[in-house]
Amino acid sequence: MEYFVKSGSPEKQRVACIIVGIFDRRSPTEAAEKIDKVSDGAIGAVMRRGDMDGKLGSTLILHNVAGSFADRVMLVGLGRERNFDEAAFRKVQAAAARALRQTGAIDAVSYLTHLALKGRDYQWNVAQALLATEDVFYRFDDCRGAKAREDISAAKLERYTFDVPRRSDLPAGERGLKESLATAKGVKLAKDLGNLPGNICTPSYLAEQARKLATQLPIKTRILEKADMEKLGMGSLLSVAKGSSEPPKLIIMEYLKGPKNEKPIALVGKGLTFDAGGISIKPAAKMDEMKFDMCGGASVFGTLTAIAELKLPINVVGVVAASENLINGEANKPGDVVTSMSGITIEILNTDAEGRLILCDALTYVEQTYEPSFCVDMATLTGACVVALGSVATGLFSNTPALARALLGAGEQSGDRAWELPMWSDYDDNIKSECADIANIATRGAGEAGATIGAVFLHRFTRKMKWAHLDIAGTAWVGKKSTGRPVPMLVQYLLNVAAKKHD
Ligand code: BES
Ligand code: MN
Ligand code: ZN
């Protein structure tokens, strides 16, 4: 599908569908009023009959509306006008896209991008509309058989135009289009990788994809193999990997388009391609969902794709720690002690707390190799974070308030939000070990503050960096579908970093 931005009157659009909004209490938007006028009250009549009451997210498609050149007029309920907020904005864009997908329309013009919100401009409106639409149109059918794939009816829509009120709003709209198209491409890659099953999306597969990215974008890829990790002393990461016959990979992708002497921003992702829990095995129910345990890594792929597409003048390195967490005769056992690359020894009291075991070595590698200006890790780290925040907000932890603020702000801006949880040193004692430097789970206050404990563990390995940890356990997938989060937040963050450098 192709997207456009333009500015034109609704009644003059010669397309398969135009989309206009109706607030509840039968209060039409300006665009809806214009159609009502040329059609001698067609829309007013529909509202009086009670077929469209303006309820938030409801839709109704009218055909052959007199006076309009469009084949269809879609009415979209916007809810109460004074309650119309950013969440409602996204909701109505998605509702329109869902209804549109059900039609045979090949082109459409939406006036839902006119809807003004406090503090938001048409760049934001267009970007959010596009991202919401792409979310609705996304399908993952790669794993269906050839026959089924033939039967899948592709979306008919080919051209989708977002209208803005004035010609002078066009540049803002175009910027929104460009940025969100790049973001959407990154989100799609993250979703595709996330949705792939564990037997296909292995650490080796991810490494291959990273090599492929390097052929398509100005990205340099390097893969550290098991032998390289052994040389570096990554005893923690390797201890997780040795429970499986799939070899681990430390995937490094460099995008260096900023000033030569400028330290990069590092993005580090948990790429655990299947988490059975190891000897501390998980229950069978929903274990299939642990194929999504590499979504942090997938978000590194997606974010780098988006910023390379946008040619942002910044230095970013993406690192994905890729491994499986299975059980064989060599697998970690509760009570084992391993030595991490940093020299810190770890008592593994629960083999299912493996994310922190692979990330700690990746973080040490990044700290020592790049001395990054900022480091952000993304990980489906704890079930406790899902309990705390559900699927609405990502958990954020940071040792640098300015970085936390920047990420929280980017989350608000992109609608891909995070919420900060504490990581005070008061929690440090919780991971004290009887025999090693630290334990990989809480040794006191068991079961309490689980998301924080994960962050506190990682913080032991990031003392020399300005660092933030994003626990995406609740947000990276919902139901059985990858969301592509937190790619929008990260891309927005990097857009903001790049913009600041310009002025
Ligand atoms: N990948 C899981 C976390 C997870 C669980 C994400 C459920 C999404 C949904 C992680 O490796 C894990 O197993 N964490 C343990 C940690 C515990 C043993 C301290 C958890 O959350 O139960
Ligand atoms: Mn686990
Ligand atoms: Zn895991």
Q: Is residue 172 part of a domain?
A: no
- Domain co-membership, 64 together with 204: no
Q: Name the residue range of residue 310's domain.
A: 186-502
- Domain co-membership, 201 together with 335: yes
Cβ–Cβ < 8 Å for 18, 111: yes
- Domain co-membership, 160 together with 231: no
- 14 has pLDDT over 60: yes
Q: Is residue 18 part of a domain?
A: yes
- Domain co-membership, 303 together with 436: yes
- Domain co-membership, 212 together with 71: no
What single-letter amino acid sits at 422? Answer: P
Cβ–Cβ < 8 Å for 116, 168: no
Determine if residue 242 is labeled as part of a ligand binding site: no
Q: Give the end of a domain, one of 165, 200, 235.
A: 165
DSSP 289-348: GGGGGGHHHHHHHHHHHHHHHTT-SSEEEEEEEEEEE--STTS--TTEEEE-TTS-EEEE
List 34, 188, 226, 356, catalytic entry: 356
Instruction: Give yes or no: 159 in active site.
Output: no
The 10s digit of each residue's pLDDT in 166-224 is 999 999 999 999 999 999 999 999 999 999 999 999 999 999 999 999 999 999 999 99
Q: Is residue 175 part of a domain?
A: no
Q: Is residue 181 part of a domain?
A: no
Would you state the pLDDT for residue 418?
99
Distance 483 CA to ligand 3 centre (A): 17
The 10s digit of each residue's pLDDT in 442-489 is 999 999 999 999 999 999 999 999 999 999 999 999 999 999 999 999
Any idea what the CATH number is for the domain that residue 18 is in?
A: 3.40.220.10
- Domain co-membership, 37 together with 156: yes
- Domain co-membership, 368 together with 426: yes
Distance 434 CA to ligand 1 centre (A): 23
- Domain co-membership, 204 together with 114: no
Percent of the chain with pLDDT over 70: 100
CA-to-CA distance for 195 and 187, rounded, in angstroms? 12
Would you state the pLDDT for residue 161?
98
Determine if residue 151 is labeled as part of a ligand binding site: no
The count of domains in the chain is: 2
DSSP code of residue 443: S
Answer whether the bond into residue 334 is a cis peptide, omega within 30°: no
- Domain co-membership, 346 together with 451: yes
Percent of the chain with pLDDT over 90: 98
Q: Is residue 170 part of a domain?
A: no
Determine if residue 293 is labeled as part of a ligand binding site: yes
Q: Is residue 149 part of a domain?
A: yes
3-state helix, strand, coil in the chain (%, to 5): 45, 20, 35
Q: Is residue 120 part of a domain?
A: yes
Instruction: Give yes or no: 311 in active site.
Output: no
- Domain co-membership, 146 together with 208: no
Q: Is residue 177 part of a domain?
A: no
Query: What mean pLDDT do residues 262-277 have?
Result: 98
- Domain co-membership, 160 together with 259: no
Mutation to probe ligand 1, out of 382, 394, 440, 470 (largest number of atoms < 8 A from CB)? 382
Closest-CA residue to 127 (of 167, 75, 181, 84): 181
